[in-house]
């Protein structure tokens, strides 16, 4: 029987959105179960954040992608490549919705020249044979291995058809990662009774201030409200799911330092009485 201490979650990047800015890194998390590292989402910078968290790329055994917005998958290919560069010799599994198959295949094609050279010159194995992509299009069990069970549910993140949240269950711990979603009853069902829910969050009051800095403001605002969760909505989600600890992450806006921790918590606290953690990069939970 595995112990509670065998599972830990590290927030690697806590800023929502593809823009790279000072402060928080783009979305990524890692769940370490009995020494095996499961990366959830691969925003730009995921490899560097992993290394800074003390995990080498080649120690990653599995990667799960919640959805294929670029802030969640831009560095998927490079992470797999870095694992290979670091001496990957066991297959690495990649799970996610379409078009994750195409994404990995296109990346591997784009670096074929380098792979071929290093295979011949450095005696490396063929990276293309070490990557196993498991594309799925419906909710349900994802995989079960080494005392860990991973389940996915479909969440609401229009206009994407395929966006998923993942639940990790070990004998001692249950962790749910929302991916990107607006208020989703499906996610509440998945997260019911979980020890930890890592959920995206949007501070509506600060959105307009953020939008004043970008040229595509009207379309972006409409998209943000339809596809993301406000602090008030998040409080309801956590309360209805009955989770013990709620971890705020994927902050939108994620680079506005005038938003204090108290401001992030304020709306959530209206409905949720449990423990609230305002996530930071490289925080271990
Ligand atoms: Zn998204």
Give every CB contact of residue 238 below 8 A, 6+ residues apart in sequence: 197, 199, 246, 268, 271, 272, 274
pLDDT in tens, 67-117: 999 999 999 999 999 999 999 879 999 999 999 999 999 999 999 999 999
CA of 70 to the centre of ligand 1 (A): 8
CA of 237 to the centre of ligand 1 (A): 18
pLDDT in tens, 230-254: 999 999 999 999 999 999 999 999 9
**Lowest-pLDDT choice from 27-41, 155-169, 197-211, 212-226:** 212-226
CA of 252 to the centre of ligand 1 (A): 11
CA of 230 to the centre of ligand 1 (A): 14
CA of 69 to the centre of ligand 1 (A): 5
pLDDT in tens, 138-164: 999 999 998 899 999 999 999 999 999
CA of 188 to the centre of ligand 1 (A): 18
Question: What pLDDT score was predicted for residue 88?
Answer: 86
Q: Distance between CA 2 and CA 271 in Å, rounded?
A: 34
Q: Distance between CA 251 and CA 229 in Å, rounded?
A: 10
- Answer whether 73's CB lies under 8 Å from 102's CB: no
Residue 181 has pLDDT above 60, yes or no: yes
Span 39-65, mean pLDDT? 97
CA dihedral for 227, 283, 7, 61, sign (positive or negative): positive
- Answer whether 157's CB lies under 8 Å from 179's CB: yes
CA of 98 to the centre of ligand 1 (A): 14
Compute the mean pLDDT over every residue in the chain, rounded to the nearest whole number: 94
3-state DSSP assignment of residue 62: strand
CA of 27 to the centre of ligand 1 (A): 10
Q: Distance between CA 194 and CA 238 in Å, rounded?
A: 10
């Amino acid at each position: 029987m595995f112990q509670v201490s065998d599972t830990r979650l590290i927030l690697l990047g806590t800023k929502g959105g593809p823009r790279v800015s000072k402060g928080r890194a783009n979305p990524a998390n890692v769940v370490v179960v009995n020494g095996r590292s499961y990366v959830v989402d691969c925003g730009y910078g995921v490899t560097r954040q992993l290394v800074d968290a003390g995990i080498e790329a080649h120690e990653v055994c599995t990667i799960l992608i919640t959805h294929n917005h670029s802030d969640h998958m831009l560095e998927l290919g490079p992470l797999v490549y870095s694992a290979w560069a670091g001496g990957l010799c066991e297959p690495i599994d990649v799970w996610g919705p379409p078009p994750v198959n195409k994404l990995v295949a296109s990346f591997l094609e784009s670096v074929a020249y380098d792979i071929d050279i290093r295979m011949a010159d450095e005696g490396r194995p063929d990276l293309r044979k070490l990557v196993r992509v498991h594309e799925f299009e419906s909710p349900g069990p994802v995989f079960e291995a080494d005392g860990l069970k991973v389940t996915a549910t479909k969440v609401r993140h229009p206009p994407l058809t395929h966006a998923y949240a993942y639940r990790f269950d070990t004998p001692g711990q249950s962790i749910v990662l929302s991916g990107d979603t607006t208020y989703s009853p499906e996610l509440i069902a998945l997260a019911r009774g979980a020890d930890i829910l890592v959920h995206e969050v949007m501070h509506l009051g600060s959105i307009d201030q953020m939008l004043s800095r970008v040229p595509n403001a009207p379309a972006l605002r409409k998209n943000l409200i339809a596809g993301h969760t406000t602090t008030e909505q998040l409080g309801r989600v956590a309360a209805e799911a009955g989770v013990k600890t709620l971890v705020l992450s994927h902050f939108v806006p994620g680079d506005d330092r005038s938003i204090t921790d108290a401001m992030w918590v304020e709306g959530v606290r209206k409905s949720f009485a449990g423990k609230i953690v305002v996530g930071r990069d490289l925080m271990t939970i």
